[in-house]
Structure 1
């Protein structure tokens, strides 16, 4: 039975997309509305009329419950962490620049004699 519902959802989706091209003489807003209606109808059937949709809704509820359990950092902690990351990135950039210039000097000036 779920297979038939998924097929019906695909037919509605295809009908919405086909309507966009079949009714080329309609304004773009109306053609876009056909696609939106097809997508919403297909999504509604898939989400609310099938067992897979029920499992997905349960998964989404569980996900929302888990997100509510997360302890989000305060503004001060976020700013401090961001500043630490910026300082580390700046220090690494300077270090890598120094390594690059040292290797360049050693390779081109000392070994190859290019100036």
Structure 2
């Protein structure tokens, strides 16, 4: 099980990755949406904002998210670290249920280029 600090670093790395991306990925990442990443194995939720191609205002709270974010991810702490490091591909992880993604239909369509 990854530590809370490893998960926070993974989210910060994801933010840096998004900020440095181009093309369709950059276009998809320019959404302005609230985001939550629930890690049930740590009983922890990270929340923040996806805006201007980066994740901002990343905070952590114990348990489930305090409010319903517009984009919601659920996965284990190890899967979060593996996804960001490139050791796990999002599409197969999502298809097999290791990663759960919930968002509005328009957001899902726009986010598909990130997958």
Asked whether the two chains share a fold, i.e. TM above 0.5, the reply is: no
- Of Structure 1 and Structure 2, which has the larger fraction of its residues in helix? 1
Structure with higher Rg: it is 1
Please state which band the TM-score falls in when normalised by the shorter chain. Answer: under 0.3
Which one scores higher on RCO, CA 8 angstroms, separation ≥ 6? 2
